[in-house]
């Protein structure tokens, strides 16, 4: 028996490790870790004379129990890759290179909050960096770190990095928004009904099908030009379900039902000739009636792959009580990351043709060398009203460097 005062809550003890201790006090990872540790729900069991009603009220014993204490994780395949606290606690399971890469990601968020404002950026980065075999992991982790090899510091992984995707979108805005009155604009989303499995080369067929369809419309003079970006929506990882689709801005006099039917037919023909799994095309077309609308739609076209939503949903449904399926989620996630990177190796995120192709004589946009002349004009349009799609902060690379 001993006498003491019962603490209002248990004081958490965080073991020291390089990944945690080297971060600043205001680091997002350290703040999230501290908040989780200090808000754990613990049960307190008391025994002794004070509990049994004896006269000596100062004698008691208490024990703090953790009702949900998990089994110790023995290998990386069982880690929750999106959980920063868990990655920090089990960083000894990670290679030294991976530890330093995650530490660099956390430091970037701390140093450049306006470049990386997405609260899921650290979780997304952990999922990517913990995918063994991803050859671009070091390049991704070192984005925003200028060097003599890469003076700009940009990794240019537009399909994975939100900041580099944002910079590319800003360049596209400067190309086309000053030329808004020289074209009749439409926004097209080309998707499919259903989902595909983890076959990265088959994803190419579904992107290429819409590109072939738009090229056919161009040959038939039903459109004058297009600027297209490719995306991959990940909806499930425990049993891989993904959906390749495209977004495009189009210059055309009209885009009526007949034109949509022609595009649908070309897409189906292309898939029948090249893919064993055929999904029904789903096309949505909207008019773009103002420069601010064109700006917002171009911004919406440039987004990196999002793995966090599907990963966390599958983890909650399959691994919240038992981690027997953790290896499958992590293995399938790695397959998606590596497949997406392999299928798009030396393949640009953007495709363009006709009046929106900078190499075409009829090109209506602004040339690369003169984009800086239109920054003030585009900024005025951007600030004229609230944007429809808010994905990234309104800063270009030079402005971000000055502020950060």
Mean pLDDT, range 1-10, rounded to an integer: 40
What's the pLDDT at 395? 40
Q: At what angle do helices 308-319 and 121-129 cross, to 10 degrees?
A: 80
DSSP string, 288-319: E-SHHHHHHHHHHH------HHHHHHHHHHHH
Task: Count CA atoms within 13 Å of residue 204 on its CB side.
Answer: 13
Cα(99)–Cα(120) distance, integer angstroms? 18
Give the residue extent of every domain in the chain. 1-69, 162-403
What's the pLDDT at 12? 37
Q: Residue 87: which H helix or E strand, with range?
A: helix 84-89
Cα(47)–Cα(6) distance, integer angstroms? 12
What's the pLDDT at 25? 54
Query: Is the pLDDT confidence value at 9 over 90?
Result: no
Of 51-55, 106-110, 351-355, minimum mean pLDDT range: 51-55
Q: What is the longest distance spanned by two Cα atoms in the chain?
A: 98
Backbone phi and psi for residue 90, each to the nearest 5 degrees, phi listed first: -115, 35
Mean pLDDT for the chain? 82
C-alpha distances in angstroms, 262 versus 21, 142, 224, 284, 353?
A: 60, 45, 15, 14, 18
Cα(21)–Cα(18) distance, integer angstroms? 5
Cα(385)–Cα(393) distance, integer angstroms? 15
Cα(232)–Cα(306) distance, integer angstroms? 8
Query: Is the pLDDT confidence value at 270 over 80?
Result: yes
More confident residue, 213 or 26: 213
Q: Which residue has the tokens 């189906």?
A: 268
SS3 186: strand
Band the pLDDT of 47: cuts 50, 70, 90: very low
Burial 4-37 (b: 16+ CB within 10 A, else e): eeeeeeeeeeeeeeebbeebeeebbbbebbeeee
SS3 79: coil
Cβ-based neighbour number of residue 166 at 10 Å? 24
Query: Is the pLDDT confidence value at 34 over 50?
Result: no
What's the pLDDT at 321? 86
Band the pLDDT of 322: cuts 50, 70, 90: confident
Cα(229)–Cα(347) distance, integer angstroms? 11
What's the pLDDT at 54? 42
Among 295, 168, 141, 185, CA closest to 230: 168
Mean pLDDT, range 344-360, rounded to an integer: 91
Query: Is the pLDDT confidence value at 43 over 50?
Result: no
User: By percentage, how much of the chain surpasses pLDDT 90?
Assistant: 66
Q: Residue 330: which H helix or E strand, with range?
A: helix 326-343
Per-residue pLDDT tens for 184-221? 999 999 999 999 999 989 999 999 999 999 999 999 99
């Amino acid at each position: 028996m001993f006498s003491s005062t019962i603490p209002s809550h248990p004081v958490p003890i965080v073991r020291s490790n390089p990944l945690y201790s080297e971060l600043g006090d205001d680091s997002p990872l350290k703040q999230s870790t501290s908040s989780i540790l200090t808000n754990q729900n613990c049960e307190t069991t008391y025994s002794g004379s004070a509990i049994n009603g004896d006269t000596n009220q100062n004698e008691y014993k208490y024990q703090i129990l953790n009702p949900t204490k998990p089994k110790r994780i023995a290998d990386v395949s069982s880690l929750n890759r999106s959980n920063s606290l868990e990655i920090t606690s089990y960083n000894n399971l990670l290679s030294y290179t991976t530890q330093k890469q995650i530490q660099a990601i956390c430091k970037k968020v701390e140093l450049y909050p306006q470049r990386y404002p997405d609260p899921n950026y650290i979780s997304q980065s952990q999922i990517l960096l913990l995918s063994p075999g991803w050859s671009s992991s070091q390049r991704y982790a070192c984005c925003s770190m200028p060097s003599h090899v890469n003076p700009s510091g940009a990794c240019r992984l537009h399909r994975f990095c939100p900041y580099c995707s944002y910079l590319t979108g800003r360049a596209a805005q400067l190309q086309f928004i000053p030329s808004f009155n020289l074209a009749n604009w439409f926004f097209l989303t080309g998707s499919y009904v259903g989902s595909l499995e983890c076959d990265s080369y088959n994803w190419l067929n579904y992107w290429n099908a819409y590109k072939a369809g738009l090229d056919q419309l161009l040959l038939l003079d039903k459109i004058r030009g297009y600027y297209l970006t490719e995306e991959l929506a990940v909806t499930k990882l425990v049993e891989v379900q993904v959906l390749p689709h495209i977004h495009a801005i189009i210059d055309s006099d009209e885009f009526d039902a007949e034109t949509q039917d022609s595009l649908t037919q070309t897409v189906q023909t292309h898939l029948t000739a090249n893919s064993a799994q055929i999904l029904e095309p789903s096309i949505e077309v909207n008019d773009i009636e103002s420069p601010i609308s064109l700006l917002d739609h171009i911004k919406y076209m440039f987004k990196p792959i999002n793995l966090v939503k599907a990963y966390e949903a599958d983890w909650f449904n399959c691994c919240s009580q038992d981690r027997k399926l953790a290896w499958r989620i992590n293995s399938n996630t790695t397959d998606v990351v590596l497949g997406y990177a392999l299928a798009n190796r030396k393949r640009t995120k953007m495709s363009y043709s006709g009046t929106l192709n900078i190499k075409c004589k009829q090109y209506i946009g602004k040339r690369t060398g003169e984009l800086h002349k239109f920054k003030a004009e585009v900024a005025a349009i951007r600030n004229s009203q609230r944007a429809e799609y808010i994905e990234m902060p309104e800063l270009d690379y030079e402005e971000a460097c000055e502020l950060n």
